[in-house]
């Protein structure tokens, strides 16, 4: 307890003594002791059913008993009646510490004394005889009691919890004003009932006092539930903000992968390719410096291919940021990392030490069994490489290796680009909880449906590729639109409808995927002509119709930002309802029969891209790990 709180409690305690003195001095001769004893007992009982508020305070019907005593016997009666509630507070449900007992007893006494003074000043008489003369003084006394009690308690809570007085008062007490006035009105009727009918009159009006108590209790419970839900929503919003930040970074990564792939596919100039890789890695990782070294297998030496952010010494005397052990790791095609988790400054090379490097990662650039270079990423501020960052670096290392290799083997550029897009698809679905595995599931279900419909092998191969890449155009849709947890605006809906056309613009650079482009572009078209992007009716291919059905089914049975996953039966019902208008009826029928026949688990995925001898892809499988990709 801080000094200010101690001083305040002392001051309130002195005020309680003054209130007690005032009550004693106002004592009238011939008080009915038995009535006071009953009221003290009722006050003690009322305090046992107090309703906890939101911040270290409570409200009870003890005020009603105190107010009845005030109306019957004046301030002396109110002070005496409060002794019962003060005693209950001290011992029930647990024994309070001494300073809390003194504080609360003093608050009760001060409130009763102030209310009694206001009652007298506004023309109230002891003892109350009729409602006309007592109505206004009673209302004024109730408001005075409310303000005295709640202000004293709010100030104590504010001092002890370092919370603003206004916040404590608004959250706990401000709304209780009407409660006090209502209870005071019922207490007035109880006092008048006692005056006219004795104990039966008092008891008759005590029962209605339970109504404001019950309503207050229910209001507090409901409000606490709402606050708890708000706290949960705040926590969820915080997690969503974190998820959005992570998703933004994933979008940046995917964009960098995509653009790097375009550069690698569009040029055979080694320096141009490496410069783009280096700049992309540095921007994405926010690193101090990035370098790519080209490895001469015959001479077993490294030469600087390109660097960004490093001093000229790296160009004049190129060397890795890490010494011998790292070079051996490169020969063994293993990455080597120095950061806060593996702190060994002896591993730093001379050039890196002069640069002020404190964290670094060296990754081999490998093509098959051949090491063609090294990706070197350095930081001059403390940095710990996360698994996600190392995965990104491995992906860029693969891209850089493909670029170096394609400079000598230009005919493999298309294969390297196709592999990069496969990694991009895997990255999108591996790191987004709402779409993880979506393309793989669409592929499996599409093949099952096509097989059920008796499609020839070549069509099944084309269908498999189109299913895997059907959502690649969503790379161009802003994350806040894809992850929106509510209805889309018309403008946002138009953005989403662009993704089939965006997919076409991405895949048209890969001649070996030419057959999949019209299928992907039209997989959101409908038989009734209300689809997009072209509003076709009967002009779509059967392969597009298959992807449309499978895509819609998987979307319905998967979690989305705006809803939880729907049941399988519900999704099938929706497909049946849309057959003939939204979906091809024959495809819907074949799809339902196919999923009824399927096993519960899909066959294991294979991390490879298969090609015919003429270079045309026959099948592609999204890799489970982005660090392992093979071309056969």
Considering the domain architecture, whether residues 381 and 441 belong to the same structural domain is answered as no
Nearest to 448 by CA among 608, 618, 593: 593
Q: Residues 26-51: what's their mean pLDDT?
A: 80
Considering the domain architecture, whether residues 392 and 423 belong to the same structural domain is answered as no
Considering the domain architecture, whether residues 572 and 519 belong to the same structural domain is answered as yes
Considering the domain architecture, whether residues 465 and 323 belong to the same structural domain is answered as no
Last residue of a domain, one of 408, 438, 472: 408
Question: 1 CB contacts (<8 Å, ≥6 apart)?
Answer: 99, 160
Considering the domain architecture, whether residues 404 and 417 belong to the same structural domain is answered as no
Say if 261 falls within a structural domain.
no
Q: Would you state the pLDDT for residue 316?
A: 63
Last residue of a domain, one of 376, 408, 440: 408
Question: 559 CB contacts (<8 Å, ≥6 apart)?
Answer: 433, 434, 565
Say if 510 falls within a structural domain.
yes
Say if 236 falls within a structural domain.
no
Residue that has been written with the tokens 């109880």 in this structure: 190
Domain containing residue 500: CATH number: 1.10.3210.10
Give 276: exposed, middle or buried? Use CB within 10 Å, 0-12, 13-18, 19+.
buried
Say if 237 falls within a structural domain.
no
pLDDT digits (tens, 9 = 90+) for 293-343: 888 777 777 788 888 888 877 656 666 666 665 566 677 778 888 876 555
Q: Residues 95-120: what's their mean pLDDT?
A: 89
Nearest to 210 by CA among 49, 24, 343: 49
Give 612: exposed, middle or buried? Use CB within 10 Å, 0-12, 13-18, 19+.
exposed
Check if the beta carbon of residue 180 is closer than 8 Å to that of residue 145. Answer: yes
Kind and range of the H or E run holding 359:
strand 359-367
Last residue of a domain, one of 408, 441, 460: 408
Question: Rounded to an integer, what distance in angstroms lies between the CA atom of residue 348 and that of residue 375?
Answer: 16
pLDDT digits (tens, 9 = 90+) for 382-435: 888 888 888 888 888 888 888 787 776 654 554 555 565 666 566 555 545 556
Q: Please give the order of strands across the beta sheet that includes 370-379.
A: 301-308, 289-296, 370-379, 359-367, 336-338
Question: Rounded to an integer, what distance in angstroms lies between the CA atom of residue 591 and that of residue 272?
Answer: 48
pLDDT digits (tens, 9 = 90+) for 451-487: 999 999 889 989 988 998 888 888 778 878 777 778 8
Say if 232 falls within a structural domain.
no
Q: Would you state the pLDDT for residue 30?
A: 60
Considering the domain architecture, whether residues 571 and 427 belong to the same structural domain is answered as yes
Phi-psi region of 418 (alpha: psi -120 to 50; beta: other; left: phi over 0): alpha
Nearest to 274 by CA among 376, 390, 154: 376
Question: Rounded to an integer, what distance in angstroms lies between the CA atom of residue 478 and that of residue 87?
Answer: 64
Q: pLDDT at residue 604 above 50? A: no
Q: pLDDT at residue 605 above 60? A: no
Q: Would you state the pLDDT for residue 84?
A: 84
Say if 248 falls within a structural domain.
no
Considering the domain architecture, whether residues 398 and 479 belong to the same structural domain is answered as no
Residue that has been written with the tokens 């613009």 in this structure: 505
Q: Would you state the pLDDT for residue 328?
A: 64
Q: Of 128-137, 305-314, 609-618, 622-631, which range is least confident?
A: 622-631
Joined together, the tokens standing for residue 18 give 């003054």
**Mean pLDDT, the chain, as a whole number?**
80
Say if 230 falls within a structural domain.
no
pLDDT digits (tens, 9 = 90+) for 356-372: 888 888 888 888 778 88
Q: Would you state the pLDDT for residue 55?
A: 65
Give 112: exposed, middle or buried? Use CB within 10 Å, 0-12, 13-18, 19+.
buried
pLDDT digits (tens, 9 = 90+) for 109-153: 999 899 989 988 998 887 777 888 888 999 999 999 999 999 999
Domain containing residue 285: CATH number: 3.30.450.40
CA dihedral of 383, 389, 393, 398, whole degrees rounded to 10: 160
Residue 490 CA neighbour count, 13 Å, CB half: 0
Q: Would you state the pLDDT for residue 171?
A: 82
Residue 486 β-bridge partners: none
Considering the domain architecture, whether residues 442 and 400 belong to the same structural domain is answered as no
Considering the domain architecture, whether residues 375 and 460 belong to the same structural domain is answered as no
Q: Residues 95-99: what's their mean pLDDT?
A: 86
Q: Would you state the pLDDT for residue 588?
A: 94
Q: Would you state the pLDDT for residue 621?
A: 38
| Cis-peptide, bond into residue 533, ω within 30° of zero | yes
Q: pLDDT at residue 600 above 50? A: no
Considering the domain architecture, whether residues 346 and 401 belong to the same structural domain is answered as yes
Considering the domain architecture, whether residues 372 and 453 belong to the same structural domain is answered as no
Say if 229 falls within a structural domain.
no
Q: Would you state the pLDDT for residue 524?
A: 92
pLDDT digits (tens, 9 = 90+) for 490-518: 888 888 889 899 888 888 877 667 889 99
Considering the domain architecture, whether residues 380 and 437 belong to the same structural domain is answered as no
Domain that holds residue 345: 267-408
Joined together, the tokens standing for residue 472 give 């690649």
Nearest to 131 by CA among 211, 63, 185: 185
* Overall number of domains in the chain: 3
Domain containing residue 158: CATH number: 1.10.1760.20
């Amino acid at each position: 307890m801080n000094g200010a709180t101690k001083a305040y409690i002392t001051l309130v305690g002195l005020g309680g003594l003054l209130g007690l003195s005032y009550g004693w001095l106002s004592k009238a001769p011939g008080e009915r002791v038995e009535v006071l004893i009953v009221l003290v007992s009722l006050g003690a009982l009322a305090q046992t059913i107090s309703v906890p508020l939101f911040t270290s305070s409570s409200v009870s019907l003890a005020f009603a008993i105190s107010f009845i005593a005030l109306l019957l016997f004046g301030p002396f009666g109110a002070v005496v009646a409060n002794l019962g509630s003060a005693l209950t507070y001290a011992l029930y449900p647990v024994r309070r510490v001494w300073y809390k007992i003194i504080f609360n007893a003093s608050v009760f006494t001060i409130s009763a004394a102030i209310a009694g003074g206001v009652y007298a000043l506004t023309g109230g008489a002891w003892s109350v005889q009729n409602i006309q003369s007592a109505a206004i003084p009673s209302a004024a006394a109730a408001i005075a009691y409310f303000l005295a009690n709640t202000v004293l308690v709010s100030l104590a809570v504010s001092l002890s919890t370092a919370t603003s007085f206004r916040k404590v008062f608004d959250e706990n007490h401000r709304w209780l004003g009407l409660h006090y006035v209502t209870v005071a009105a019922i207490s007035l009727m109880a006092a008048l009932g006692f005056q006219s009918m004795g104990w039966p009159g008092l008891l008759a009006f005590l029962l209605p006092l339970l109504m404001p108590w019950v309503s207050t209790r229910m209001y507090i419970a409901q409000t606490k539930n709402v606050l708890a839900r708000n706290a949960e929503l705040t926590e969820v919003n915080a997690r969503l903000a974190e998820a959005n930040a992570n998703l933004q970074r994933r979008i940046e990564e995917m964009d960098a992968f995509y653009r790097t792939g375009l550069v690698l596919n569009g040029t055979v100039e080694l320096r141009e390719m490496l410069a783009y890789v280096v700049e992309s890695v540095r921007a994405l990782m926010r690193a101090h410096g990035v370098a790519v070294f080209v490895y001469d297998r015959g001479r077993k030496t490294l030469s600087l291919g390109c660097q960004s952010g490093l001093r000229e010494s790296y160009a004049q005397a190129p060397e890795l940021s890490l010494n011998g052990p790292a070079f051996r790791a490169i020969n063994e095609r293993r990455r080597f990392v120095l950061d806060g988790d593996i702190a060994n400054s002896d591993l730093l090379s001379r050039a890196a030490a002069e640069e002020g490097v404190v964290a670094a990662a060296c990754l081999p650039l490998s093509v098959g069994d051949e090491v063609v270079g090294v990706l070197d990423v350095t930081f001059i501020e403390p940095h710990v490489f996360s698994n996600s960052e190392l995965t990104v670096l491995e992906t860029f290392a693969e891209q850089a290796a493909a670029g170096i290799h394609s400079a000598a083997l230009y005919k493999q550029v298309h294969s390297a680009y196709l592999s990069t897009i496969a990694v991009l698809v895997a990255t999108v679905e591996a790191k987004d909880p709402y779409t993880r595995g979506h393309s793989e599931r669409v592929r499996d279900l599409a093949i099952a449906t096509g097989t059920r419909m008796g499609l020839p092998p070549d069509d099944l191969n084309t269908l498999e590729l189109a299913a895997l890449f059907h959502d690649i155009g969503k790379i161009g849709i802003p994350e806040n639109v894809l992850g929106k947890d509510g209805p889309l605006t018309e403008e946002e809906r138009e953005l989403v409808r662009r993704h089939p056309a965006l997919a076409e613009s991405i895949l048209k650079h890969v001649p070996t995927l030419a057959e999949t482009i019209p299928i992907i572009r039209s997989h959101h078209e409908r038989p009734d002509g209300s689809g997009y992007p072209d509003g076709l009716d009967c002009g779509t291919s059967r392969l597009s119709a298959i992807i449309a059905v499978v895509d819609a089914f998987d979307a319905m049975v998967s979690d989305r930002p705006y809803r939880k996953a729907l049941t399988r039966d519900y999704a099938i019902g929706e497909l049946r309802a849309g057959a003939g208008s939204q979906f091809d009826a024959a495809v819907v029928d074949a799809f339902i029969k196919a999923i009824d026949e399927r096993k519960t688990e899909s066959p294991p995925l294979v991390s490879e891209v298969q090609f015919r001898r003429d270079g045309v892809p026959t099948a592609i499988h999204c890799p489970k790990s982005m660090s392992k990709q093979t071309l056969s």
